[in-house]
Structure 1
């Protein structure tokens, strides 16, 4: 006589709390997304309504190189986490250092753009409606890049000093969520400000 195997009922398995780090980062990203939506909507609403110049078409150039650097940094961070999961600390440090460099290039490019806009084109936050919304939106994003870059630098210091190993891969996953969010937001900002806005 054959017996029928009994499959365990999924309802009998104990419920496990979701990871606090992932949930916390998800909540932060949702809150930050709401802030960015407000700034993007304000920028779109006031686009072209300023009476005085300079206008976006007159002063903005497409920051293609810095955009490529920032978006590439998501890939290098991904490979850093993959290296950490495989206990390849050297690869982790190298890819993470590349991520930091790419993020720094983006910030330097933004700083150079702002310097030119302020001191050559005379566009400040008080110049006109475009200046106010431009510096508010792009500045908000740049602030998030700075925060993310500081966290990545801290992780790199820990990695270079031997305080990171495979068991920290999940923490790097959580940190990478923030960085990928910052990169995704830049795609929206770039599209609205530099493509549609011009």
Structure 2
């Protein structure tokens, strides 16, 4: 007889408990595959950082890194990104407790903070574009635009994913597929924060001097 059958089970956590009763953990198995994807993504960013290291000293008569990067502005972007990651983590606590409303609220706040970050990046690159400092002007600007915008595109994808998960949690609750996707999104969102730390350090902080 199942040890949980005689207990009062919280509907929000019943699905999670059922996973522990199985002979294997299907969520962990599927999450491993997502880790492999992120390793390949990390290799892409490593190549972009290597290219940036080569081109950062080739402004070709155009502006160099000290002329266009703004570390203080990027610091505020960093605070916004980490705030979004922190709030998402609070959502995972709500998931563990079976608190659907708490998870939904956390996802909404994390989503809005991600939008703020993208808005700040849009403002930064719009000013560069209208000043004529687009990616065609020099090798350095090509590398700069590519590495920052590649991260930005990942953030866009993460926000689309987060929006879909909000709808799925509202409609389906904590099914196995929903929990699996939320856990993978947590890994993905944390990964974007780690990549942004690298961008902030090597592009904005180092480039300012």
Aligned pairs for 1:118-137 within 5 A:
118-119=129-130, 121-137=131-147
User: What CA RMSD, in Å, does the superposition of the two structures yield over aligned residues?
Assistant: 1.8
Instruction: Give the C-alpha shift of residue 166 in structure 1.
Output: 6.9
After superposition, give the CA deviation of every residue in 1:29-76 in whole Å (9 maximum; x if it has no partner).
Answer: 000000000000110122222231212211221222221111111111
Given that residues 87 and 166 in structure 1 are in contact (C-alpha distance below 8 angstroms), is that contact kept between their aligned partners in structure 2?
A: no
> How many angstroms apart in 1 are the aligned matches of 2:112 and 2:193?
15
SS in 2 for 1:197: helix
4+ long deviations beyond 4 Å = 15-18
Among 144, 147, 152, the residue aligned to 2:157? 147
Among 77, 82, 106, the residue aligned to 1:71? 82
> How many angstroms apart in 2 are the aligned matches of 1:165 and 1:26?
22
**Structure 2 spans left out of the alignment, 5+ residues:** 1-22
Name the residue aligned to 1:98. 109
**Structure 1 spans left out of the alignment, 5+ residues:** 1-14
> How many angstroms apart in 1 are the aligned matches of 2:157 and 2:33?
16
Moved more, 34-43 or 61-70: 61-70
- Give TM-score scaled by structure 2 length: 0.81
> How many angstroms apart in 2 are the aligned matches of 1:197 and 1:61?
9
Instruction: Give the C-alpha shift of residue 135 in structure 1.
Output: 0.7
Higher helix share: 2
SS in 1 for 2:110: helix
Aligned pairs for 1:38-77 within 5 A:
38-62=47-71, 63-77=74-88
Instruction: Give the C-alpha shift of residue 194 in structure 1.
Output: 0.3
